Amino acid sequence: FNIIGNRFRFFLISVVVILIGIVSLASFGLKAGIEFSGGSLLTLSFDEKVELAELKQELDNLGYANAIVQTTSGGDFLTRTFELTPSEKTQLKNELAARFGSFTEKGFVDISPETAIQTARIAAIAVAIAAIGIMLYVTWAFRRMPKPFRYGTCAIVALLHDALVALGVFSILGGVLGWEVNLMFIASSLLLAGFGIWFVISGILTVV
């Protein structure tokens, strides 16, 4: 396949994808996971069949209008609310049991706003350290090239391209399907950045 000969088509596709992602980021933003925003996440498995809309409506009736409810591939419900005290959690479970019947609590995560802020700060530091490491690696990789700055710039542009595409995709998925950005997303993004920069550098060094 003639990639070089069709480079303008690929450039056009990349520009369109990035523009769609930027529009989505401006409209939806990124939906922060519980690690970054705080709150309580309760995982429930009902014995009887319960519809997602029914559970959302019941939570709204109970005063949890801003609750986020999602289903898993196994049929469990992930119910995210503001931070619950032990008594509030017990009351919520009792009221849900009275409405939908017995269920099994498969998990509960409670993260305070202070912990969420600290987690976000640590994630930002990790991203900054990774960015510095990538810059140092790019400088080292092209140290013997006749025009190292040009090759290094191409590698960084490719990295920014991958990052914008990933952010745009997750923004769309967050706005449409409710997908959230969590620590796993940060780890995957760093892995994508590392692999992407290695792939670009390897390709450039192979060509030259």
Q: Could you tell me the pTM of the whole model? A: 0.63
Round to the nearest angstrom and report the end-to-end CA distance of the chain: 20
Q: What is the pLDDT of residues 139-165, one digit of tens each?
A: 777 777 777 667 767 777 777 888 888
Query: Alpha carbon 127 to chain centroid distance?
Result: 14
Q: What is the pLDDT of residues 45-98, one digit of tens each?
A: 999 898 989 999 999 999 888 888 888 888 899 888 888 889 999 999 999 999
Asked whether the beta carbons of 197 and 155 are under 8 A apart, the reply is: yes
Q: At 145, which amino acid appears? A: M
Residue 176, both tokens: 């449409």
Asked whether the beta carbons of 84 and 92 are under 8 A apart, the reply is: yes
Q: What pLDDT is stored for residue 122 in this prediction?
A: 86
Distance CA 193, CA 114 (A): 29
Distance CA 44, CA 107 (A): 7
E-assigned strand segments in 72-135: 77-81, 103-111
Q: What pLDDT is stored for residue 203 in this prediction?
A: 66
Residue 89, both tokens: 């959690």
Q: Which 3 state secondary structure label does DSSP give 5?
A: coil
Q: Which range, of 27-36, 61-70, 176-185, 199-208, averages the lowest pLDDT?
A: 199-208
Q: What is the dihedral of CA 177, 180, 186, 191, to 10 degrees?
A: -20
Identify the DSSP state of 6.
Answer: T
Q: What pLDDT is stored for residue 83 in this prediction?
A: 85
**Domains observed in the chain:** 7-32+115-207 (no CATH), 39-111 (3.30.70.3400)
Q: What pLDDT is stored for residue 207 in this prediction?
A: 57
